[in-house]
């Protein structure tokens, strides 16, 4: 074998060795990079196509901005956020980040079993306490003694919702009626519409909560936001009574509207979604309902949204509403590194950047930035968002009254139907609400 052949074999052998060393180095580097990455499992319930698209994009952008964090997202049903989530966390194999339903049976239960981490330090770090009003943060607070609405913070929500007054401006203009700003003006408007043959207010009591939400909205429209403590105490089970003059007044007002024929004929047999569709098609001038119908109403340019007209002498009323499920850090985020990464993701999911992404797909973000980017083709969302911003400037986000007890939802729906059917008085109905509430409070004293 000649020298040149030996040198060639040696050269190629050296190349193969060098190649193996380089490959090993690359693999080692990749392994080290992988070891440094924090991988987090995340559960959310955003299963509507526009929602899931927005969150998928958010995950992608977040990971680009934070290359050391990997978010493994999975979409679940609302029911999965309850017993299945608790079972998974108890077994130690659940997600590190999860949307958690507020209330004693869900978030309260997880807090009690130490399956969620408190977020107070992160709230300071990321400025959540200034980014969101107390009325939003309190919904995710639990004390060590299991007091709802006070104590440590265990979650932050990304979307908001409120119940207000939808109105058909074409029908109001035709009747020569301005958008009502007070309950008295709303009553006058409905009287005039009725006289002209236009159904004043849409309603559907066959299913859902449209009736109780109308009652709650009239009640809270009489409460000044700075004087909200009595209602907060009721909802957060601190104590108090439903025997409130303003609630009785709201019930009597609702009954009088029924007696005067202001509600759409046959409302007792109409479902809530069917009522919304009838309103969308111009069958009534007003509808009191929530922002969950914004997408459905978007293409009817005659439909607008306003704060519920206020009671006499009220400057900044409460509005029935709340937030969607809160994002929480669970007990399966065992290391400080995991917890910090989870908090960073939650901060992104409640950021102004995410708020603009929600607005782009037609949803109302929980944050209230004055610099929000409203899509030009969605004026209904623009005016609704302005109502939201103004509401939160005055800490005016009120409550869904059915939060007060586990059985209050059924109590409200049944008794509103009884009231409007003339089978009980406003005082009798309110007394039944209070009986339900006081009985529940007794079960909490142990």
Beta carbons within 8 Å of 266's beta carbon, 6+ residues apart: none
In the numeric block, the tokens 């849409």 are attached to 202
Beta carbons within 8 Å of 24's beta carbon, 6+ residues apart: none
Q: What is the pLDDT of residue 176?
A: 97
Give the HSE-up count for residue 109: Cα atoms under 13 Å, Cβ half-sphere: 15
Which domains does the chain carry?
38-154+325-365 (3.40.190.10), 162-321+397-443 (3.40.190.10)
Nearest alpha carbon to residue 346 among 40, 36, 37 = 40
| Cβ pair 53, 60 in contact under 8 A | no
DSSP strand pairing (141-142 vs 152-153):
antiparallel
Please report, for residues 101, 313, 341, 348, the alpha-carbon distance to residue 62 in angstroms, rounded to integers and kept in the order given: 24, 47, 11, 7
In the numeric block, the tokens 């709650």 are attached to 216
Query: How far apart are the two ends of the chain, measured CA to CA in Å?
Result: 96
pTM of the prediction? Answer: 0.82
Name the 3-class secondary structure at 76.
Answer: coil
Read off the tokens for 183.
């309950």
Measure the CA–CA gap between 423 and 433, rounded to whole angstroms: 16
Q: What is the pLDDT of residue 446?
A: 52
Beta carbons within 8 Å of 34's beta carbon, 6+ residues apart: none
Residue ranges of the chain with pLDDT lower than 50? Answer: 1-12, 14-15, 17-19, 21-35
Measure the CA–CA gap between 251 and 99, rounded to whole angstroms: 35
Q: What is the pLDDT of residue 288?
A: 98
Name the 3-class secondary structure at 285.
Answer: coil
Beta carbons within 8 Å of 350's beta carbon, 6+ residues apart: 128, 131, 132, 156, 157, 158, 327, 366, 367
| Cβ pair 96, 330 in contact under 8 A | yes
Measure the CA–CA gap between 100 and 116, rounded to whole angstroms: 10
Q: Left (φ > 0), alpha (ψ -120 to 50) or beta: where does 125 sit? A: alpha
């Amino acid at each position: 074998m000649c020298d040149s052949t030996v040198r060639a074999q040696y050269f190629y052998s050296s190349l193969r060795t060098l190649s193996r060393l380089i490959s090993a180095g690359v693999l080692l580097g990749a392994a080290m990079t992988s070891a440094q990455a924090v991988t987090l499992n995340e559960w959310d319930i955003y299963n509507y196509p526009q929602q899931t698209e927005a969150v998928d994009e958010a995950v992608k952008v977040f990971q680009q901005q934070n290359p050391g964090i990997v978010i493994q997202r999975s979409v679940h049903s609302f029911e999965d956020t309850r017993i299945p989530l608790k079972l998974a966390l108890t077994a130690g194999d659940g997600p590190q980040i999860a949307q958690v339903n507020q209330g004693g049976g869900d978030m309260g239960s997880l807090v009690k079993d130490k399956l969620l981490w408190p977020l107070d330090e992160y709230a300071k770090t990321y400025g959540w306490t200034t980014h969101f009003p107390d009325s939003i943060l309190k919904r995710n607070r639990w004390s060590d003694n299991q007091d709802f609405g006070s104590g440590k913070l265990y979650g932050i929500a990304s979307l908001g919702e409120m119940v207000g007054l939808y109105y058909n401006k074409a029908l109001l203009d035709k009747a020569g009626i301005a958008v009502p700003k007070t309950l008295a003006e709303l009553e006058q408007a409905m009287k005039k519409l009725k006289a002209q043959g236009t159904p004043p207010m849409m309603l559907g009591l066959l299913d859902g909560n449209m009736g109780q939400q109308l009652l709650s909205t009239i009640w809270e429209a009489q409460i000044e936001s700075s004087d909200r403590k009595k209602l907060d105490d009721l909802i957060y089970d601190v104590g108090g009574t439903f025997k409130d003059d303003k609630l009785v007044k709201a019930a009597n007002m609702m009954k009088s509207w029924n007696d005067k024929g202001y509600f759409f004929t046959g409302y007792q047999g109409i479902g809530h979604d069917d009522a919304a569709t009838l309103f969308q098609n111009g069958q009534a001038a007003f509808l009191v309902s929530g922002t969950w119908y914004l997408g459905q109403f978007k293409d009817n340019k005659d439909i607008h949204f306003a704060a519920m007209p206020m009671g006499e002498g009220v400057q900044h009323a409460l509005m029935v509403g709340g937030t969607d499920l809160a994002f929480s850090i669970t007990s399966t985020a065992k290391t400080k590194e995991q917890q910090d990464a989870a908090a960073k993701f939650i901060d992104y999911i409640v950021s102004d950047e995410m708020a603009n992404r929600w607005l782009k797909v037609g949803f109302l973000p929980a944050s209230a930035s004055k610099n929000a980017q409203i899509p030009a083709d969605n004026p209904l969302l623009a005016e609704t968002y302005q109502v939201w911003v103004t509401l939160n400037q005055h800490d005016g986000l009120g409550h869904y009254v059915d939060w007060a007890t586990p059985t209050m939802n059924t109590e409200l729906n049944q008794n509103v139907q009884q009231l409007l059917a003339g089978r009980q008085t406003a005082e009798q109905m309110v007394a039944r609400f209070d009986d339900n509430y006081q009985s529940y409070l007794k079960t909490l004293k142990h």
